[in-house]
Structure 1
């Protein structure tokens, strides 16, 4: 949710829309918008996220989780190369 919130904040600011204006447009509280952007809301419905994305010209998609290498694996790969 932290990453989603950061993308939402960036898109909102790029469009020069205040949290207050966005919340009024979507009939959500400004505190909800703020909490999503800051990652402080423990649970949020996907419909709210989709509404915010639609209002800001964003899309939400899901992809298979990939396993990220550890720092030690990356260092070893660099040494071996």
Structure 2
């Protein structure tokens, strides 16, 4: 999950409760702009305690998981394809 995914989940949970960003912000003592930036994945810096507070208020939890490996780069895929071709060539 990245910051954009987190923001979408927060926004969805907020809308299910039929709360405005201003209502969430007021309940947590933060600005509406911070809530908006968090939901849009554009927040520059935010403390983990604030993220956890928003999640808690909205009935969500954060979970930590092992990062999945990244997708290979194009040059890696090309190299592997070339190697498979060479392996199939008659010797």
Instruction: Confirm or deny a common fold (TM above 0.5).
Output: yes
In the alignment, which residue of structure 2 is the partner of 1:62?
64
Measured after TM superposition, the shift of residue 42 of structure 1 is 1.6
Q: Which has the larger radius of gyration?
A: 2
RMSD (Å), alpha carbons: 1.7
Report how many residues are paired.
73
TM-score (norm. length: structure 1): 0.81
2:64 partner SS: coil
For structure 2, list consecutive stretches of 5 or more residues without a partner in the other structure: 78-91
For structure 1, list consecutive stretches of 5 or more residues without a partner in the other structure: 74-81
Q: Equivalent residues in 2 for 1:15-30 (5 A)?
A: 15-30=17-32
1:7 partner SS: helix
In the alignment, which residue of structure 2 is the partner of 1:7?
9
- Distance in 2, matches of 1:19 and 1:69, equals 35
